Amino acid sequence: MKKQEIYYETMYILRPDIAEEEVNKHIEKYNKLLEEMGGSILDSQMRGKRRLAYTIAKHREGIYVQLSHQGDGQHIEKIEKAMRLSEDVIRYMTIKQEGPLPTPKPKIKPSETSNNKEKEISENDNIPTNASEEKSEADKPNE
């Protein structure tokens, strides 16, 4: 059984009209700020653009970012103040969690996924197929 530890999860929503590089800058900014305040980052994930349940600051969608971190609790006030002052953050919430620490998920670069798909396609092209296998049940006459 894993040791039960206390950590914090901060979920914040960014405006949907900002560019992806700006989103990455915000993620790096808050991660750096958190480390400067004495916290340690356990996991940081961009959850993507999603439709909001209700309109927030005239926005129907938002870019969700989840940040799991540990610290003494004093760093939360400072990071939330930075989010409150930012015009790009439309909503944020930090909750205290108790349980096994989250493990960071490996980040897959978009170029790697497209290369893997190309390899799969080229491998499938090299596999010989029999014409009899390609006939479906619908093409066979009823006996």
How long a stretch of residues is the chain? 143
Domains of the chain: 5-99 (3.30.70.60)
- Other Cβ atoms less than 10 A from the Cβ of 37: the count is 17
CA gap 45, 24 in Å, rounded? 10
If you average pLDDT over residues 121-129, what whole number do you get?
49
Strands, sheet with 5-14, edge to edge from the N-terminal-most edge strand: 40-56, 59-70, 5-14, 89-99
- Of residues 23 and 112, the one with the higher pLDDT is 23
Q: Phi then psi for 79, rounded to 5 degrees?
A: -70, -35
Lookup result for tokens 């909503």: 91
Query: Is the whole model's pTM more than 0.85, yes or no?
Result: no
- Of residues 56 and 121, the one with the higher pLDDT is 56
pLDDT level of residue 133 (50, 70, 90 thresholds): very low
pLDDT at position 15 is: 96
- Other Cβ atoms less than 10 A from the Cβ of 102: the count is 15
Tens digits of per-residue pLDDT, 38-87? Answer: 889 999 999 999 999 999 999 999 999 999 999 888 889 999 999 999 99
What percentage of the chain carries pLDDT values higher than 90?
55
16 with 61: CB under 8 angstroms? yes
pLDDT at position 102 is: 77
If you average pLDDT over residues 108-136, what whole number do you get?
48
Mean pLDDT of the chain: 79
105 to 76, 86, 110: CA distances (angstroms): 23, 27, 15
